[in-house]
Structure 1
Amino acid sequence: MKILIGQPIHEKQIEQIKNHIEANNMIDLVLYPEGYLSNEKSVEEACKLAKDYKVAIVSSYRKDNKDRAIIISGEGNKILERPKTIPDENIELYDPLTVTYNNNTIGYILCMEILKAKRDLKRVEEKIDFVVHPIGVGMFSEEQFGQWVEEAKAIAKKYKTFVIGTSHADGSYRSCGVSIPISYCIDNNGDPIFISKSDTRTRIVDLSSKKVEIIE
């Protein structure tokens, strides 16, 4: 499984993901940040793009000013779609937490859901091959950056799974003016394959070999 991990800037269209897919014909899946798909029209366009190039797309989209999880198959079908879990720590992650695609069980956590994932992924009975983690914008502090990376490592180690996340290259949490763009891939032993801080280049990770290619 080859996964392209992009850190785009926000846009109304889907030109950046289209360019990435057109330029990299050996990838199986594209991971883009939370909210990259700005509306339902963008989702329709992404479904067509996935089908045309036979590439799965993972991101999230905005509906009624709220973020929703989405995974689109290489056939252009929405195979996972749900609301984002509310922050209340007493509320467990909303289902579905996983989807089976091309003989892989893919886990999905959306942005701040990472803070509940180590606790709640235990509901999944099957082995999770990898977890995707779309993040809206970069971290608002060094402390948050460290915390989220450590959570990803803990999830990977507990569930013996890869955990892969990425944020936009622009924007900041609640427009606070501070943003540390992040992308990462943690292997199924809990060890980093790469951790990117304020480096928004696109990467392709081959999960079978654990090798990373920087493509821009």
Structure 2
Amino acid sequence: MKILIGQPLHEDKIEQLENEIKSNKDIDFVFFPEGYLANEKALVSAREIAKKYKVAIATSYKRDNKNRALIINNLGEIVLERAKTLPDENIKLYGPTSINIDGCEIGYLLCMEILKGRRDLEIVKEHMDFIVHPIGVGMFSDEQFELWISEAQNIAKAYNTMVIGTSHADGSYRNCGVSLPIAYCIDSNGEAIYISKSDTRTRIVNLTSKEFEIK
């Protein structure tokens, strides 16, 4: 399986998503950040694109101005959809936290949910092929960047699976003015296949060989 990992700019339409798919026709799975689909109209368009190009899509979309988890299969069907877990540490991850697509078990952590992953992903099936971690905007400090990468590495080792994360190329947390766009791919041993800070180029990861290319 080839996974395209994008770091788009925020947009109301989904031109960047379709352009990436059209430019990389051998991909099977597209992974975009939290909230890339700005509204339910964009969600409808994304389902049409998934069906048209026969690719699965993992991202999130906004409904009532709140981000919701989302995976669409290559038939354009929504196979995972749920609310984002509240940040209170006493609240466990909302389910579902994984979905099976054509025999491939995919875990899902939405943005700050990464901080609950080691504790709460125990509810998913025994084996996962990889976990996607859509992030809204870049990190607001080097310390946050290192913390989230460390959590991803710990989750990868704990569940013996690959963890992939990506954020938008623009925007900042609560408009603080500081943003370190982040993208990463950690293998099942917790080792980095790549870690990107403020480098917003598209990556394509081959799940079988664990190799990647930069577009």
TM-score w.r.t. length of structure 2: 0.99
Counterpart in 1 of 2:43?
Answer: 43
Q: How does 1:48-67 map to 2 (within 5 A)?
A: 48-67=48-67
Taking the aligned partners of 2:172 and 2:117, their CA distance within structure 1 comes to: 23
RMSD between superposed Cα atoms in Å = 0.5
One-letter code aligned to 2:209: S
Consecutive unaligned residues in structure 1, runs of 5 or more: none
| CA drift at 1:126 | 2.7
In structure 2, the residue matched to 1:33 is 33
Is 1:115 aligned to residue 106 of structure 2?
no
- Aligned amino acid, residue 98 of structure 1: S
Residue ranges of structure 2 left out of the alignment (5+ in a row): none
Give runs of aligned pairs for residues 83-122 of structure 1, distance below 5 A: 83-122=83-122
Aligned length: 215
Task: List per-residue Cα deviations over 1:136-167 (Å, max 9, x = no partner).
Answer: 00000000000000000000000000000000
In the TM superposition, what is the alpha-carbon distance from 1:39 to its structure 2 partner? 0.4
Which stretches of structure 1, 4 residues or longer, exceed 6 Å deviation after superposition? none
| C-alpha distance after superposition, 1:164-197 (max 9, x if no partner) | 0000000000000000000000001111000000
- Give distance in 2, aligned partners of 1:98 and 1:62: 20
In 2, Cα distance between equivalents of 1:102 and 1:5: 20
Query: Counterparts of 1:13-32 in structure 2 under 5 Å?
Result: 13-32=13-32
Q: What corresponds to 1:146 in structure 2?
A: 146
Q: Distance in 1 between matches of 2:125 and 2:21?
A: 33
> 1:81 aligns to what?
81
Deviation of 1:116 after TM superposition, in Å, equals 0.1
Task: Please give the alpha-carbon distance, in whole angstroms, between the structure 1 residues aligned to 2:151 and 2:127.
Answer: 19
What are the Cα deviations for residues 95-136 of structure 1, in whole angstroms up to 9, with x where unaligned? Answer: 000000021110000000000001100111331110000000
Residues 129-208 of structure 1 mapped to structure 2, 5 A cutoff:
129-208=129-208
Q: What CA distance in whole angstroms lies between the structure 1 residues aligned with 2:74 and 2:123? A: 27
Q: What SS class does the counterpart of residue 68 from structure 2 fall into?
A: strand
Find the residue that maps to 2:189 and give its secondary structure: coil
Counterparts of 1:125 and 1:14, CA distance in 2: 32
